[in-house]
Amino acid sequence: MKKIGIFGGAFNPPHKGHVRLARDFADRLALDEVLIIPSFIPPHKSAQTLADAGDRLAMCRLAFCGDERFTVSAVEIDRGGKSYTYDTLLEIKHNNPGAALYLIVGSDMFLSFDTWHRYRDILKICTLCTAPRE
């Protein structure tokens, strides 16, 4: 069974902590692929302070290059509107039937996970993975 990690966020900008978190889970869980997904409009952050979505996508491509397990995806940018993880997971599941999905989130997002759009349904689709940022 293919194992896919999903790591989304504003990535404004992406930094070494993001890369380390994604790499640690890829290693620990023996993930075949980790999708890096910059949001178009993050529901939990102010869009007014965000860099342009295309610029954040390009920064992610630079930050996460060098590890063939990482794939930077424009799925949320292409979809437009608010970037709800639930919608993204449904699309990934549809495109990868039978794959096991692992949602990677930082501890800051984990602490507010119960406020996410359809968070209970998210837990039915994937395994939630979190670690402290320090």
Q: Cα–Cα distance between 56 and 43 in angstroms, integer?
A: 16
Instruction: Give the mean pLDDT of the chain.
Output: 95
Work out the percent of the chain whose per-residue pLDDT is above 70: 96
pTM: 0.95
From edge to edge, which strands make up the β-sheet containing 70-72?
70-72, 33-38, 3-9, 100-106, 127-131
State the pLDDT at residue 134: 64
The candidate with the shortest Cα–Cα distance to 80, out of 35, 37, 39, is 39
* pLDDT above 70 for 42: yes
pLDDT digits (tens, 9 = 90+) for 79-127: 999 999 999 999 999 999 999 999 999 888 899 999 999 999 999 999 9
